[in-house]
């Protein structure tokens, strides 16, 4: 019969937080609280967009600031169309608000995307593979 040896390693118990660590945590919590208040205030001023389509993988929306073609001076071309951006839908097809950062050509900016009854639901299976013809 074989013998089994069990080895238990000693661990150091963490030391209690120092006064400096406590002060840093409190300062962080205060800054976090203030940033949440600032975020809530600025949410009221965000651009809102209604999503065009949604499936289990993504939702799309037409960006109000990005165009398919630009003139040399930076203005949108006469026949330019709005660019459609895509974000993940998290397997959720319900009506809701999504807070996202639009990564546009012109500038990143926070936006609110509304998924409403107007948003077209597409019946694509989750993780649908690309179709090659």
Q: What is the mean pLDDT of each run of 10 residues along the chain (133 residues)?
A: 55 60 67 65 77 93 90 92 91 91 76 93 66 51
Instruction: Say what the pTM is.
Output: 0.59
Note whether residue 11 is domain-resident: no
What pLDDT does 81 receive?
Answer: 94
Note whether residue 5 is domain-resident: no
Note whether residue 15 is domain-resident: no
Determine the structural domain holding residue 93 and report its residue range: 47-121
Note whether residue 30 is domain-resident: no
Note whether residue 32 is domain-resident: no
The H or E element that residue 49 is part of is: strand 47-50
Note whether residue 33 is domain-resident: no
The pairing of beta strand 108-115 with beta strand 53-54: unpaired
What pLDDT does 65 receive?
Answer: 86
Note whether residue 38 is domain-resident: no
Residue 121 CB: number of other CB atoms within 10 A?
Answer: 13
Note whether residue 117 is domain-resident: yes
**CA angle 91-97-102, nearest 5°?**
90
* Number of structural domains the chain divides into: 1
């Amino acid at each position: 019969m074989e013998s089994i040896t069990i080895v238990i390693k000693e661990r150091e118990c963490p030391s209690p937080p120092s006064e400096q660590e406590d002060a840093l945590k409190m300062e962080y919590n205060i800054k976090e609280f203030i940033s949440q208040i600032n975020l809530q205030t600025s949410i009221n001023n965000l651009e809102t967009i209604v999503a065009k389509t949604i499936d289990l993988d993504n939702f799309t929306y037409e960006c109000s600031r990005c165009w398919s073609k630009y003139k040399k001076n930076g203005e949108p071309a006469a026949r330019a169309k709005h660019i459609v951006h895509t974000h993940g839908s998290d397997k959720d097809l319900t009506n809701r608000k999504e807070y996202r950062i639009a990564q546009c050509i012109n500038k990143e900016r926070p936006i609110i995307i509304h998924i409403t009854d107007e948003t077209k639901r597409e019946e694509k299976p989750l993780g649908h593979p690309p179709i090659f013809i």
